[in-house]
Chain A
Amino acid sequence: MKIIRRKKMACNSASCESGCYKDDERPVAANGNASNPRRGGVNVPGVCLKCKINQTIAVTHPAVAGSAGEGGRFCADCFRSNLLGKFRFAVTSNAMISPSDNILVAFSGGSASRVALQFVHEMQQKAQKNFDASRERERVLPVFGVGVAYIDETTMCAEASSEFGEAANEVELIVSNLTPPTKQFLAIPTESIYSPELAVGRDSLKRLGDVVRDLTGKEDLNKHLRMLSLQKAAFDNGYNKIVLGTCTSRIACHVLEATVKGQGFSLAADIQYVDARWKVPVVLPLRDCLSEELNMLCSLDSLKTVEASQQPRAGINGLISSFVKLLQEENPSRESTIVRTAGKLTPFSFNKTPEVDDPNERLATKRRQKKYNLKPDKSQPPESFCLVCSSPLKKSNTSGLNGLALEETSAVIYAAACSSCQYQILPKDTSSMEHFLSLLPQSITTLAKDSSDSHMFLREQIQDLLLSDSDDGT
């Protein structure tokens, strides 16, 4: 039997030829034969690596095991507790959920957000039990509230409208079964960001789809609008945090997407556990879980998912999805490596849970930071964010204006967007820009107006690039 030692325990000598894994590019052993370096010795194939008692998933649930090594390494219980452990670590070290919070879980119907919903529900149940048990005592921690949001994209993809209707019903059913405690269910149509003018909103959304030519730009714009509708729903319904089921695999794709779109500066903002740049902070408790693991858990525990709304990604995003899938198949630790590398980029000042005024909480925060070795952030908040996608903007942002035919207001809007949105979403000339702006929800255009009023320096910077009325254009 071949003894394969993991990277940490490989011998020191670089000239050793016993086949030690020194390179993290070598795939992690996927056949359950790996020995646990901490305990030494070799494992019996088919027996869980961790508890050494139960049979691995590959043995008890061969249909579910899939190609990942996880199926051959852990038993169902240890696998579940491993995932739950990652969730708990993320939540605790980042103080994601406090007793006084009202959390909105975004559930797309997919397996990742289904697991997020499940874990949050179990956590809430436990808090509720503790609350019920200790009602006699005076000081008792309140139970945090949980609501579930489902974004209905019927307007944005007219072809599948009936499918979406059904999907929303199935999702609502799933949520209604997650009691006690009861959870509010919000079905949010994307046009809600235009409320109260919903009919106008539906029309505007459809037209936006036509105005934005670039396929990738279209997809990304939809993604930004989804977040805006989530933000609005959370704020309007009294939630103070949003939980997303974003997992390692999704983040790995995002790292590459941002890189190839020239968004290297803002990338660090999108991939942390906490993103508090928004009105309602967004947290990612499943950041350390692979999509494959989350799929497996849903199968193992028969967690119901709704697949209707999953659309294949097109353009650049689709290319990257396939690329990462290919890499992951070739090396099962690839997604984690990508996220780990990107995780070394410096986060922004808003990438931590906002501090509460309560002095007790502040003390708890200091203790938590010390325990998890988190550095207190000394960075300045960025001056501005992209009008369209809310990415933090680097100082000099006007280079993309060269060669465009824009009069003043449009140029100011243009300069208030990141270079990626400038290229793939915003129109390139004044009349199209005016039309485009008329189709955006007021929440964005008022932002634009505010920024154009207060950013005089922006005007000065672009003065040279603006065309005067007498010019004919390029």
Chain B
Amino acid sequence: MASEAAAETAAKPRGGRLCTICNTKRAALKRPKTLEQICKDCFYAVLEDEIHRVIVDNHIFKRGERVAIGASGGKDSTVLAYVMSELNRRHDYGLDLFLLSVDEGITGYRDDSLETVKRNEIQYGIPLKVVSYKDLYGWTMDEIVKLIGLKNNCTFCGVFRRQALDRGASLLKVDKIVTGHNADDIAETVLLNILRGDIARLSRCIYSPNAYRGFAREFIKDLERIRPRAILDIIKSGEDFRIATHTKMPEQGNCERCGYISSQKWCKACVLLDGLNRGLPKQGIGRTRGLDAERNKDSRETNGTQSLQSKQCGSLDF
């Protein structure tokens, strides 16, 4: 017995250390999260297992649920698609999986990523549904940019995309949406909310594209180089912040125009769309002045006549 153990530890494969988990294969990489040196198979196993644990420990799914996987074609959603289909099969979650992709209508932008998602559909056997801004809102991003220019188009795209995922999922009669947001994204959001002064958002993560992300992203990468666990520590801090329960959180109601969830009279997409249709590209851009601002603005403008540039927007009924 002793000699076998000795032989095992003494015999190292040529050219490298052993994986610290299985102790048999050669270590192929250093895991960023824990700095462990592990082999390829153990890396897959440990990643998939951690995700499985999160799903199980947090009771994320129920048997038979229809689940849409937000699929952009990027690395995060591709991994997500793979892991969901794999875990669903391996652990028999009993889920009905779909890939949900959004087409913003930006020429040349989505083409490659949509191809990737179509490949994912075939590779993982998950049916794909693409919803386009044109279908949902009556405008493609190209058309929007033609009207409003390149300054605030990110706001439009972000709001529309976030809602597109929800609206598409609703069309598909889906029970849950899963997205590939990772720890870096969440950490970034926590950081941005501190920098920008948004106490209500510190505990409620909202994804929106922002030039600031560049700064924060860079900082997080530098931080990770010094101390990899700092990313998870940021998330922990975000969860632990002492935020008073009476902190003014926006009330959740429904948009009067389309029924989508909204804290204001009209949801953000309707506000923006209304602006587009009336040829008022700045409507909805920038900070609103409190809950009543939207109401006042709307009541003022419904009295006006239809703008010549208005377009028929797609069915928004939710």
Which residues from 144 to 199 on chain B have a C-beta closer than 8 Å to any C-beta of chain A? 190-191, 193-199
Interface string of B202-242 (1 = CB under 8 A from A): 10000000001001000100110011011011101111111
Stretch at the interface among A231-239, A336-344, A354-362: A336-344
Of B199, B233, B238, B239, the contact of A341 (CB 8 Å cutoff) = B199
A338-B195, A394-B240 in contact; A260/B223 too (CB < 8 A)? yes
Which residues from 64 to 92 on chain B have a C-beta closer than 8 Å to any C-beta of chain A? none
User: Do most interface residues of chain B lie in helix, strand or loop, or is the interface mixed?
Assistant: helix
B37 vs chain A, min Cβ distance (A) = 15
Chain B residue, CB-CB nearest to A326 = B215
A462 vs chain B, min Cβ distance (A) = 20
Which residues from 47 to 78 on chain B have a C-beta closer than 8 Å to any C-beta of chain A? none
The yes or no answer to A289 lying at the interface (CB within 8 A) is: no
Of B195, B223, B243, the contact of A327 (CB 8 Å cutoff) = B195
Chain B residue, CB-CB nearest to A260 = B230
The yes or no answer to A444 lying at the interface (CB within 8 A) is: no
B129 vs chain A, min Cβ distance (A) = 34
Of A23, A267, A268, A344, the contact of B286 (CB 8 Å cutoff) = A23
Please indicate the chain A residues that have their CB under 8 angstroms from the CB of B195 in the complex.
Answer: 327, 334, 337-338, 341
B210 vs chain A, min Cβ distance (A) = 10
Cα A15 to Cα B289 with chains together (Å): 12
Of B234, B244, B297, the contact of A13 (CB 8 Å cutoff) = B297
The yes or no answer to A315 lying at the interface (CB within 8 A) is: yes
Please indicate the chain B residues that have their CB under 8 angstroms from the CB of A323 in the complex.
Answer: 215, 219
Interface centre among B197, B226, B280, B297 (most CB of A within 10 A): B197
A22-B287, A262-B237 in contact; A255/B194 too (CB < 8 A)? yes
Chain B residue, CB-CB nearest to A331 = B195
User: Is the beta-carbon distance between A14 and B194 smaller than 8 angstroms?
Assistant: no
The yes or no answer to B138 lying at the interface (CB within 8 A) is: no
User: Is the beta-carbon distance between A423 and B229 smaller than 8 angstroms?
Assistant: yes
User: Is the beta-carbon distance between A341 and B197 smaller than 8 angstroms?
Assistant: yes
Of A24, A256, A262, A419, the contact of B197 (CB 8 Å cutoff) = A24
User: Is the beta-carbon distance between A319 and B223 smaller than 8 angstroms?
Assistant: yes
User: Is the beta-carbon distance between A261 and B230 smaller than 8 angstroms?
Assistant: yes
Please indicate the chain B residues that have their CB under 8 angstroms from the CB of A263 in the complex.
Answer: 237
Number of interface residues of B (CB under 8 A): 45
Cα A130 to Cα B296 with chains together (Å): 56
The yes or no answer to A264 lying at the interface (CB within 8 A) is: yes
User: Is the beta-carbon distance between A12 and B296 smaller than 8 angstroms?
Assistant: yes
The yes or no answer to B247 lying at the interface (CB within 8 A) is: yes
Which residues from 274 to 316 on chain B have a C-beta closer than 8 Å to any C-beta of chain A? 275, 280, 282-289, 293, 296-297
Cα A334 to Cα B240 with chains together (Å): 23
User: Is the beta-carbon distance between B297 and A338 smaller than 8 angstroms?
Assistant: no
The yes or no answer to A17 lying at the interface (CB within 8 A) is: yes
Cα A15 to Cα B241 with chains together (Å): 36
Please indicate the chain A residues that have their CB under 8 angstroms from the CB of B230 in the complex.
Answer: 260-261, 316
B294 vs chain A, min Cβ distance (A) = 9
The yes or no answer to A200 lying at the interface (CB within 8 A) is: no
User: Is the beta-carbon distance between A327 and B237 smaller than 8 angstroms?
Assistant: no
A12-B296, A16-B282 in contact; A342/B194 too (CB < 8 A)? yes
User: Is the beta-carbon distance between B196 and A337 smaller than 8 angstroms?
Assistant: yes
A259-B234, A319-B226 in contact; A264/B197 too (CB < 8 A)? no
Which residues from 338 to 374 on chain A have a C-beta closer than 8 Å to any C-beta of chain B? 338, 340-342, 344-346
Please indicate the chain B residues that have their CB under 8 angstroms from the CB of A326 in the complex.
Answer: 215
User: Is the beta-carbon distance between B223 and A344 smaller than 8 angstroms?
Assistant: no
Cα A289 to Cα B275 with chains together (Å): 42
Cα A411 to Cα B169 with chains together (Å): 49
Please indicate the chain B residues that have their CB under 8 angstroms from the CB of A256 in the complex.
Answer: 191, 194
Cα A24 to Cα B287 with chains together (Å): 9
Which residues from 396 to 453 on chain A have a C-beta closer than 8 Å to any C-beta of chain B? 419-420, 423
The yes or no answer to A258 lying at the interface (CB within 8 A) is: yes
Cα A315 to Cα B194 with chains together (Å): 21
Which residues from 1 to 27 on chain A have a C-beta closer than 8 Å to any C-beta of chain B? 12-17, 22-25
Cα A262 to Cα B238 with chains together (Å): 8
B114 vs chain A, min Cβ distance (A) = 34
Which residues from 108 to 154 on chain A have a C-beta closer than 8 Å to any C-beta of chain B? none
Cα A13 to Cα B283 with chains together (Å): 9
User: Is the beta-carbon distance between A316 and B227 smaller than 8 angstroms?
Assistant: yes
Please indicate the chain B residues that have their CB under 8 angstroms from the CB of A267 in the complex.
Answer: 237, 241
Interface string of B240-264 (1 = CB under 8 A from A): 1111100100000000000000000
A260-B233, A316-B223, A337-B196 in contact; A14/B241 too (CB < 8 A)? no
User: Is the beta-carbon distance between B219 and A345 smaller than 8 angstroms?
Assistant: no
Please indicate the chain A residues that have their CB under 8 angstroms from the CB of B297 in the complex.
Answer: 12-15
Interface centre among B202, B212, B226 (most CB of A within 10 A): B226
User: Is the beta-carbon distance between B194 and A12 smaller than 8 angstroms?
Assistant: no
Chain A residue, CB-CB nearest to B280 = A15
Cα A329 to Cα B124 with chains together (Å): 49
Cα A261 to Cα B232 with chains together (Å): 9
User: Is the beta-carbon distance between B283 and A319 smaller than 8 angstroms?
Assistant: no
Please indicate the chain B residues that have their CB under 8 angstroms from the CB of A327 in the complex.
Answer: 195, 215
A259-B191, A262-B233 in contact; A14/B283 too (CB < 8 A)? yes
Chain A residue, CB-CB nearest to B300 = A13
User: Is the beta-carbon distance between A264 and B286 smaller than 8 angstroms?
Assistant: no
User: Is the beta-carbon distance between A260 and B240 smaller than 8 angstroms?
Assistant: no
Please indicate the chain B residues that have their CB under 8 angstroms from the CB of A341 in the complex.
Answer: 193-199, 202
Please indicate the chain A residues that have their CB under 8 angstroms from the CB of B223 in the complex.
Answer: 260, 316, 319
User: Is the beta-carbon distance between B237 and A25 smaller than 8 angstroms?
Assistant: no
A5 vs chain B, min Cβ distance (A) = 14
Cα A315 to Cα B225 with chains together (Å): 10
Chain A residue, CB-CB nearest to B241 = A264
The yes or no answer to A216 lying at the interface (CB within 8 A) is: yes
B71 vs chain A, min Cβ distance (A) = 31
User: Is the beta-carbon distance between B219 and A319 smaller than 8 angstroms?
Assistant: yes
User: Is the beta-carbon distance between B236 and A262 smaller than 8 angstroms?
Assistant: yes
User: Is the beta-carbon distance between A337 and B243 smaller than 8 angstroms?
Assistant: no
Cα A263 to Cα B280 with chains together (Å): 45
The yes or no answer to A265 lying at the interface (CB within 8 A) is: yes
Cα A258 to Cα B240 with chains together (Å): 11
Chain A residue, CB-CB nearest to B211 = A25
Cα A16 to Cα B285 with chains together (Å): 10
Which residues from 106 to 137 on chain B have a C-beta closer than 8 Å to any C-beta of chain A? none
Told that A334-B195, A346-B242, A423-B229 touch, could you supply 19 new A-B pairs with CB distance under 8 A?
A13-B297, A15-B275, A15-B297, A24-B287, A259-B191, A259-B234, A259-B238, A260-B230, A260-B233, A262-B233, A262-B237, A265-B241, A265-B242, A316-B227, A319-B219, A337-B196, A338-B197, A341-B193, A345-B243
Instruction: Give 3 nearest A-B pairs by CB, closest first.
Output: A264-B237, A262-B233, A265-B240
**25 interchain pairs, CB-CB under 8 A:** A14-B283, A15-B275, A15-B280, A25-B212, A256-B191, A260-B223, A260-B230, A260-B233, A262-B236, A263-B237, A264-B238, A264-B240, A319-B219, A323-B219, A326-B215, A327-B195, A330-B215, A337-B196, A338-B197, A341-B194, A341-B195, A344-B243, A394-B240, A419-B236, A423-B229
List residues of A whose CB falls within 8 A of some B CB: 12-17, 22-25, 216, 255-256, 258-265, 267-268, 315-316, 319, 323, 326-327, 330, 334, 337-338, 340-342, 344-346, 394, 419-420, 423
